[in-house]
Structure 1
Amino acid sequence: MADERRLEGRTALVTGASGGLGAHFAEVLARQGARVVLTARRLDKVEAYAAAIGRTGAEAHARALDVSDPASITAVFAEAAAAIGPVDILVNNAGVSGEGRAIDLTPDAWDQAFDVNVRGVFFCAQAAARQMIDSDAASRGGGRTINVASIAAHTVLPGLVAYNASKAAVGMMTRSLAREWARHHIAVNALCPGYVETDINRDWFATEGGQKQIKTFPRRRLMDAQALDDALLLLAGPGAGALTGSLITVDDGQSLG
């Protein structure tokens, strides 16, 4: 991936950036010239990642954000716009795993999956779109919203019924928002990764059961986060000028069974 700084002058906000894919996505966008705002509930974590990005010479900021709380979303987007400028690029990455067999799943566990994975995604997308429209993002090349879904948007992952349902909802939400906001030149797309080793799943994949699961994948491996970089930059940059309402799967063939 060439360092073309294709996002120079753009402002990107990444949710769930306290580690894993969110922190990685923020770093990738910063390398391409974007001013990045890293958000998560753990302020100390995003401050550390923002500082690390800042040491490379890029501009990075940290904000505490609970995506399950619409008031927190409103406040953080307003703070970011005032301090840095209106958001041009949103990476809706925050999510929870929603583990549990259907027979055992509690109402609280179901609600948590949908509060974060669906409700949070929607209200962050709404807040970003309002800024993009009010600031005439179309004149700067258009707005970009990237909803991080999963292969669970179209593939059954066993033991994850709430997660599967929430990510399928994100897929249809993406298409609906893309249709509604197309005239404002806001491209809304979803990135659907396969299994990438992160803090959420690392312990599982170290177990015998996790190793057996990896052996069911066509290439017998987990993906590296870097495998998502080109798709992320396509959806965040000029290449998405005529690309909206799409669900882009990058999974190393895992959903092929």
Structure 2
Amino acid sequence: MMNPDLKMFDLSGRTALVTGASGGIGLALAGGLARAGARVVLNARRKDKLEQAAESLRAQGADVRTVSFDVTQSAAVAEGIASVEADVGPIDILVNNAGMQRRAPLEQFEEAHWHELMKTNVDSVFLVGQAVARHMIPRGHGKIINICSVQSELGRPGIAPYTASKGAVKMLTKGMAIDWGPYGIQVNGLGPGYFKTELTQALVDNAEFTAWLVGRTPSRRWGDVEDLIGAAVFLASNASDFVNGHILYVDGGVTATL
């Protein structure tokens, strides 16, 4: 029998949609939510990678579905969310994880890349969040988790547009919480620090950068994607019913220190 105090973290019977879930942090979060009892719906653009990701979770016993649509296109988002609601069930939990990075000195940053980055990192959160909230509002409950970053607070050379985008996601999260909180919806941000994923492997392999990062991080290591799961389950569960508009940084202490 489950301890009553732990029951508030149980996601059994709930449906969670995770965008950008074909690998990395998105796939790890989906797996963690599934292990907490949720049915998970993975979203990405590439159907082949999406199905591989789904099979990897099914092999662990997860209840997994997939839905492929472009999170930056409003018509595709509306159609995709409607299909999940109709074919899988009401979306109880949304994780807005889809995102990208572009690196270049700001004076050399291409305008096209600026717009691409903003569409992927900011527009997607607005479009998917709004589409899902329109279904959650009449039901009077829901959990939305927007993936922020330590770059929602801190800058680094060569990534000013990314920092701007993640700062925008932080404030959009607060705005969503303010507008949708009265309908019983909690909207919070999850802010990863530096994590080992396929997208950061080049940095992991850079001995100079890794030495700098480990020395800069109070926990003295890179993050592993599994480190994010407890925070995600908390924000997706009844345990966070009075937590709204908060950004929870999981960063080994990077945002706490100079």
Which residue is equivalent to 1:250?
A: 250
Counterpart of 1:83, as a letter, is D
Q: Does 1:100 align with 2:104?
A: yes
Which residue is equivalent to 2:19?
A: 15
Which residue is equivalent to 1:231?
A: 231
1:143 Cα shift? Answer: 0.2
Q: Does 1:77 align with 2:78?
A: no
Which sections of structure 1, spanning at least 5 residues, go unmatched?
A: none
Aligned pairs (5 A) from 1:1-257:
6-134=10-138, 136=139, 138=140, 142-218=141-217, 219-255=219-255, 256-257=257-258
Provide the secondary structure at the position in 2 that maps to 1:248.
strand
Provide the secondary structure at the position in 1 that maps to 2:106.
coil
Whole-Å Cα distance in 2 between the matches of residues 164 and 197 of structure 1? 19
Provide the secondary structure at the position in 2 that maps to 1:242.
coil
| Fraction of identical pairs, as percent | 37
Provide the secondary structure at the position in 2 that maps to 1:103.
helix
Whole-Å Cα distance in 1 between the matches of residues 32 and 52 of structure 2? 16
1:251 Cα shift? Answer: 0.3
Q: CA RMSD in A?
A: 1.7
Provide the secondary structure at the position in 1 that maps to 2:121.
helix
Runs of 4+ deviating beyond 4 Å: 2-5
Which structure has more RCO (C-alpha within 8 Å, separation ≥ 6)?
Answer: 2
Check the 8 A contact 1:98/1:112 in 2, yes or no: no
Which sections of structure 2, spanning at least 5 residues, go unmatched?
A: none
Whole-Å Cα distance in 2 between the matches of residues 160 and 213 of structure 1? 17
1:215 Cα shift? Answer: 3.8
Provide the secondary structure at the position in 2 that maps to 1:66.
coil
Check the 8 A contact 2:31/2:62 in 1, yes or no: no
Per-residue Cα deviation, 1:39-90 (whole angstroms, up to 9, x for no partner)? 0111111111212222333310112121111122111111111111121100
